[in-house]
Amino acid sequence: MKITSIKFYHAQLKLRKPFITSLGFRDHANNIFVEINTNVGLTGWGECSPYPLINGETVDTCFVVGKMLAQRLIGEDPRETAELSALMDKTIYANTSIKSAIDIACHDLAAKSCDEPLYLHLGGKINKKIYTDYTVSINTIEQMVEDAIEVKERGFPVIKVKLGDGGPQDVKRIEAIREAVGNDIGIRIDANQGWKVKEAIATLQAINGANIQYCEEPINKHNYFKLKKVRKSSPIKIMADECLHDHYDARKLVKGDHVDYFNIKLGKSSGLVKAQKIIQEAEAANIAMQIGGFLESRILFTANCHLAHTSDLVKHYDFDSALFHETDPVIGGMEYQHDWEIRIPESPGLGLEVDRKFLDKCKSLEIN
């Protein structure tokens, strides 16, 4: 099997409400859908959601770099996923977001060629249930409380709360939210690098009574070596996010005993090849993991679900972003159940297609 063409689509998806973190405000998801075609008639799908402040990419850079990568990959066998990942790295440094979209599409093709679902192709098995959390954006205390109550009323098992724009105010936010939703629903928090070290320690100690599951990336990613200090002083577990891109980062974090948990995102890791290497590092150190994303559609989160079924140590799931979109152009793939369990089809590969009418409206670039 050989790659005959790679097509990139700018999929702009309006959000139902603004998504606000300590890193900024977004009212649209500007994603890249990738379609890879082959000489045997199989098509693979991938996706990324480039984010300048995390992976240093935009839609424009994805089109430019995507063209470079596609020109190198035409004629290659998409089933050789590890070799293609290495080839992309030899073509250009970083650009993990667009590489991940291509990587996912190649894995979709590899599994389809074996007529098996992706999780099985990756060596996984379905022996657990996956439930997503739902995120509350940074806002006024009153608005965040209202949003948290809505999340609970919709039946989500866990509320993820965005923080990081001021420790004392964040303490008030969490206290108000916990009082409003009660103690029978989980809360996890994400500061998105928003606190200084002392501020992080003080804030985490102050909200200890709120029964918080864990905190993602409390301080700036460049200060990852200071996470151990935060961790040792915090009564709340610490999860690496922005400072964890690939397996090399995982090794540094393990060696330094810096964090309790890992948060894997395919857009940071360059795709499934390196994500599996992170999982291997985590399993060797007995570190539990979360898999999450940026603002992708169900293409990416279907790949996430398949990956989650490859390790018993993947225990947390941040798979809510596809619910933020006003439109859903994905046909098939992962499905949200009424209780927010997520199930994936047993069909080959990712088990999905994309609405051609939607794609026809997207800016596109095809390399063949």
DSSP letter for 309, please: T
The whole-number pLDDT of residue 296 equals: 98
Known active-site residue 232: no
| Strand 335-336, strand 341-343: pairing | antiparallel
Asked if 300 contacts 266 with a C-beta cutoff of 8 angstroms, the reply is yes
Beta strands in the chain (DSSP E): 3-21, 24-38, 43-48, 130-131, 134-136, 158-162, 186-190, 212-216, 238-240, 261-264, 288-291, 314-317, 330-332, 335-336, 341-343, 352-354, 363-367
**Token reading at 41:** 């008639």
**Token reading at 278:** 């992170």
Residues forming CATH 3.20.20.120 domain(s) in the chain: 120-352
Known active-site residue 67: no
Residues forming CATH 3.30.390.10 domain(s) in the chain: 3-116+356-367
- Nearest by Cα to 287 from 314, 248, 255, 256: 314
Q: Does domain 3-116+356-367 have CATH number 3.30.390.10?
A: yes
The whole-number pLDDT of residue 157 equals: 98
Residues making up the annotated binding site are 190, 216, 241
- Amino acid (one-letter) located at 23: L
Of 112, 162, 274, 277, the active-site residue reads: 162
The whole-number pLDDT of residue 289 equals: 99
Give 254-299 as a DSSP string.
Answer: HHTT--SEEEE-HHHHTSHHHHHHHHHHHHHHT-EEEE--SS--HH
CATH no. of 120-352: 3.20.20.120
pLDDT along the chain (368 residues), means of 10: 99 98 96 98 98 96 98 98 98 98 99 98 98 98 98 98 98 98 98 98 98 98 98 98 98 98 98 98 98 98 98 98 98 98 98 98 98
**Token reading at 173:** 């936010």
The whole-number pLDDT of residue 165 equals: 94
The whole-number pLDDT of residue 108 equals: 99
The whole-number pLDDT of residue 323 equals: 98
Which residues is 216 bridged to in the sheet? 190, 239
The helix-helix angle for 272-285 and 96-113 (nearest 10°) equals 90
The whole-number pLDDT of residue 291 equals: 99
Of 160, 265, 274, 277, the active-site residue reads: 265
Q: pTM score, two decimals?
A: 0.98
Its sign, for the CA torsion 254, 255, 260, 266, is negative
The whole-number pLDDT of residue 194 equals: 98
Residues making up the annotated binding site for Mg(2+) are 190, 216, 241
The whole-number pLDDT of residue 301 equals: 98
